[in-house]
Amino acid sequence: MSNLPAFAYVDVLTRLDTGDSSGLPPDLVDTPLKREALHALLKAAEAVHRAAVSTTQVADALRRDQKFVRPGPPSPHLVRLRQQQAQARQATNQAKQAFIVAADAFVRAFGLVVPAKVGLEVFAQDWMRARVPKDEAS
């Protein structure tokens, strides 16, 4: 499905996977603790993105195929799609939990203060959008 967005920080994550921090603002990677925290946050964000894409794909397939359902018991195909939807939702929830844990470690490593009435997840996502360079293709 080509209309689904790609993960916006794939190049940065790939560079951090290989230990290369060139092209990143120096204040993001000036200590090993900050590099590891940023890497963990980006890995968790990628997992959230993958889970969201999977959930969207399964939901689209289910919506498309349920249009033509006949009365009576559901077909094995629809049962399989519903099971996939439940698995995708569970994966999304687990990825979000992992992201929150990574965001907490990230905030501590960078010494950031999360404003009152702002969720940790929202704060971390906004911070990434503002500070981490996105890929040109995104």
Is residue 2 scored above 60 in pLDDT? no
> Minimal CA–CA distance to 107: which of 94, 90, 125?
125
| Segment 24-79, tens digit of pLDDT | 888 888 899 999 999 999 999 999 999 999 999 999 999 998 888 888 898 899 99
DSSP letter string over 12-52? HHHHHHTT--TTS-HHHHSSHHHHHHHHHHHHHHHHHHHHH
- Which pLDDT does position 96 carry in this prediction? 97
In whole numbers, what is the pLDDT of the chain averaged over residues? Answer: 90
> Quick check: 134 and 8 in contact, CB under 8 A?
yes
